């Protein structure tokens, strides 16, 4: 009877406990880490709802410690518990003894909503995202120190990638995470280069190689030596860590060389067939250093890192007395005489009267030029005035002297040539020639031939 009584008590206890857990979670049950033992669905839902309503995300920053976005800031609202209900429905209250020995950790997706626009606004309102609280990183670079190029260490700043921060916080809220670390999540902008970057190391080594260069210019018994003490300030790196040498500073050095090695300019003197002594001020005859070519050569030699001795690059050699810049083959136009001559190897092989530009209005330019273009059977078009060209004139022989539109051509409309016709009926600036003479001259003249025009 005693044994039967014990069994009966146990049976009643078992059934009572089973009945008790029929609408409650069994022992050792948790939902998303919350202890739900003996809790009804309604109680669990209330717990989760409270958890959602109290939700907050702590954001750990480098510069300002921890900032927080609260659920109330983004209108977060609990919406459902389908997975929890499913887990509850799957449990068997009659198996409650098993729960004494086995834990049941339920991982359930909590259904909730929040205002994404308000979350974006809350993110942008974070103190750590304000410009005054951000410092940009500084990449490692190469600097000159103690007679050598060395690597200057990078600096890590507090500037964030805003899009990365937004993406991180949105995903954290979606997962109901309660803490994020911007640094660990890689949201801070990193220096482009560090002391370990191969680009920085390669740049340093190349720039130190440059320092071995030494360029000696020697001319007229005068030596100028370019050493690293001077050109080290020309050397730097660009944003991609490529070593560069300042073209501007190299040109300045070449300009200084020119002051040393250039010889005095003097005007050329043309003796006209009429015996005139014409000063050609734009036909300067002194020696000139080639600034652009010399600066490019300097950069190349520094990059090679070698010792070099040479003459400066000469753009124009000085001419001896009696020589001239136009040689012995050239065209001469005398505006006063209204006449032109063509010399080949010092011999006059062609001449004719001409009509030049209308005096005082369309004057033919004077100076030293060269023949730029030869074109047969073309139409000359004047400048546009009131939407129309001043003239459209077909010619058989066109020989250009300037790109602004001055040249030799036949002029069948001129009744006479030479004399004083240019004073009243001159051209628009071109050198008008008799048609037959223009054809003869066209067949003789070569491109590049110097052309001297003077009064």
Where does the pLDDT of residue 5 fall: very low under 50, low under 70, confident under 90, or very high at 90 and above? confident
147 pLDDT above the threshold of 80: yes
Give the mean pLDDT of the chain: 92
Q: What are phi and psi of 189, to 5 degrees?
A: -70, 130
pLDDT at 69 (0 to 100):
96
Q: What are phi and psi of 232, to 5 degrees?
A: -60, -30
- Helical segments of 388-434, H only: 422-425
pLDDT at 4 (0 to 100):
79
Reference 193, options 143, 237, 243, 154; nearest CA is 154
Reference 356, options 310, 309, 409, 314; nearest CA is 409
318 pLDDT above the threshold of 90: no
Where does the pLDDT of residue 20 fall: very low under 50, low under 70, confident under 90, or very high at 90 and above? confident
Determine the 3-state secondary structure of 100 from DSSP: coil
Q: Measured between alpha carbons, how far is 1 from 140 in angstroms, rounded to an integer? A: 91
Q: Measured between alpha carbons, how far is 357 from 362 in angstroms, rounded to an integer? A: 5
Percent with pLDDT over 90 in the chain: 70
pLDDT at 320 (0 to 100):
76
Instruction: Say if strands 235-237 and 243-245 run parallel, antiparallel, or are unpaired.
Output: antiparallel
pLDDT digits (tens, 9 = 90+) for 296-307: 999 999 999 999
Helix (H) or strand (E) holding 239: none
pLDDT at 163 (0 to 100):
95
What is the mean predicted confidence (pLDDT) over 23-43? 86
Q: Across 191-264, where does the E strand assignment appear?
A: 214-219, 222-226, 235-237, 243-245
Q: Which is more confident, 454 or 385?
A: 454
Per mean pLDDT, which range of 55-69, 205-219, 260-274 is the poorest?
Answer: 260-274
pLDDT at 126 (0 to 100):
96
pLDDT at 84 (0 to 100):
78
Per mean pLDDT, which range of 144-153, 210-219, 275-284, 407-416 is the poorest?
Answer: 275-284
Question: 195: how many CB neighbours lie within 10 A of its CB?
Answer: 14
Per mean pLDDT, which range of 139-143, 206-210, 279-283, 389-393 is the poorest?
Answer: 279-283
Burial of 432 (C-beta count, 10 Å sphere; 0-12/13-18/19+): buried
80 pLDDT above the threshold of 80: no
321 pLDDT above the threshold of 80: no
pLDDT digits (tens, 9 = 90+) for 128-137: 999 999 999 9
Question: Could you give the angle at the alpha carbon of 161 between the alpha carbons of 157 and 167, nearest 5°?
Answer: 140
pLDDT at 325 (0 to 100):
82
What is the mean predicted confidence (pLDDT) over 278-303? 92
Q: Measured between alpha carbons, how far is 250 from 295 in angstroms, rounded to an integer? A: 5
Cβ(196)–Cβ(184) below 8 Å: no
pLDDT digits (tens, 9 = 90+) for 86-124: 888 888 888 888 888 888 887 777 788 899 999 999 999
Per mean pLDDT, which range of 71-85, 134-148, 400-414 is the poorest?
Answer: 71-85
Helix (H) or strand (E) holding 45: helix 41-53
pLDDT at 99 (0 to 100):
83
Per mean pLDDT, which range of 78-92, 149-163, 177-191 is the poorest?
Answer: 78-92
Where does the pLDDT of residue 38 fall: very low under 50, low under 70, confident under 90, or very high at 90 and above? confident
Q: Is 191 left (phi over 0), alpha (psi -120 to 50) or beta?
A: beta
From the centroid of its chain, how far is CA 199? 19
Q: Which is more confident, 77 or 350?
A: 350
What is the mean predicted confidence (pLDDT) over 159-177? 94
Q: What are phi and psi of 200, to 5 degrees?
A: -70, -45
pTM above 0.85, yes or no: no
Where does the pLDDT of residue 52 fall: very low under 50, low under 70, confident under 90, or very high at 90 and above? confident
Q: Measured between alpha carbons, how far is 439 from 398 in angstroms, rounded to an integer? A: 10
pLDDT digits (tens, 9 = 90+) for 339-368: 999 999 999 999 999 999 999 999 999 999
Per mean pLDDT, which range of 1-10, 31-40, 112-121, 388-397 is the poorest?
Answer: 1-10
pLDDT digits (tens, 9 = 90+) for 408-429: 999 999 999 999 999 999 999 9
pLDDT at 283 (0 to 100):
79
């Amino acid at each position: 009877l005693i044994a039967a009584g014990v069994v009966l008590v146990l049976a009643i206890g078992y059934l009572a406990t089973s009945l008790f857990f029929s609408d409650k979670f069994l022992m050792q049950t948790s939902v998303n880490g919350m202890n739900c033992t003996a809790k009804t669905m309604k109680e669990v839902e209330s717990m989760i709802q409270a958890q959602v309503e109290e939700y907050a995300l702590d954001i750990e920053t480098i510069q300002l410690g921890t900032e927080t976005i609260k659920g109330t800031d983004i209108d977060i609202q609990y919406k459902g518990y389908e997975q929890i209900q499913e887990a509850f429905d799957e449990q068997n209250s009659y198996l409650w003894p098993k729960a004494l020995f086995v834990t049941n950790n339920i991982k359930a997706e909590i259904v909730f909503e929040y205002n994404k626009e308000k979350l974006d606004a809350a993110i942008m309102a974070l103190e750590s995202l304000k410009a005054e609280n951000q410092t940009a990183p500084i990449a490692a670079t190469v600097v000159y120190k103690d007679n050598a190029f060395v690597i200057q260490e990078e600096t890590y700043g507090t500037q964030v990638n805003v899009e990365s921060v937004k993406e991180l916080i949105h995903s954290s809220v979606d997962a109901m995470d309660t803490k994020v670390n911007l640094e660990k999540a890689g949201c801070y902008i990193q220096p482009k280069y560090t002391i370990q970057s191969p680009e920085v190391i390669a740049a340093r080594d190349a720039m130190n190689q440059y320092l071995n260069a030494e360029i000696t210019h020697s001319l007229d018994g005068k030596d100028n030596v370019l050493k690293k003490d001077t050109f080290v300030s020309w050397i730097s790196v660009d944003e991609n860590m490529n070593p560069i040498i300042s073209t501007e500073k190299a040109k300045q050095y070449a300009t200084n060389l020119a002051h040393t090695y250039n010889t005095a300019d003097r005007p050329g003197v043309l003796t006209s067939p009429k015996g005139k002594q014409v000063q050609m001020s734009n036909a300067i005859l002194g020696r000139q250093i080639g600034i652009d070519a010399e600066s490019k050569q300097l950069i190349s030699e520094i990059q090679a890192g070698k010792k070099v001795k040479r003459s400066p690059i000469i753009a124009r050699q000085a001419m001896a007395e009696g020589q001239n810049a136009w040689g012995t083959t050239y065209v001469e136009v005398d505006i006063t005489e209204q006449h032109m001559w063509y010399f080949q190897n010092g011999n006059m092989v062609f001449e004719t009267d001409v009509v030049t530009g209308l005096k005082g209005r369309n004057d033919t330019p004077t100076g030293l030029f060269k023949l730029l273009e030869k074109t047969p059977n073309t139409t000359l078009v004047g400048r546009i005035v009131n939407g129309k060209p001043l003239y459209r004139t077909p010619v058989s022989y066109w020989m250009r002297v300037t790109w602004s539109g001055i040249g030799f051509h036949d002029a069948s409309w001129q009744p006479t040539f030479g004399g004083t016709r240019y004073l009243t009926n001159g051209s628009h600036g071109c050198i008008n020639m008799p048609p037959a003479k223009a054809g003869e001259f066209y067949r003789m003249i070569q491109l590049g031939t110097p052309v001297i025009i003077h009064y």
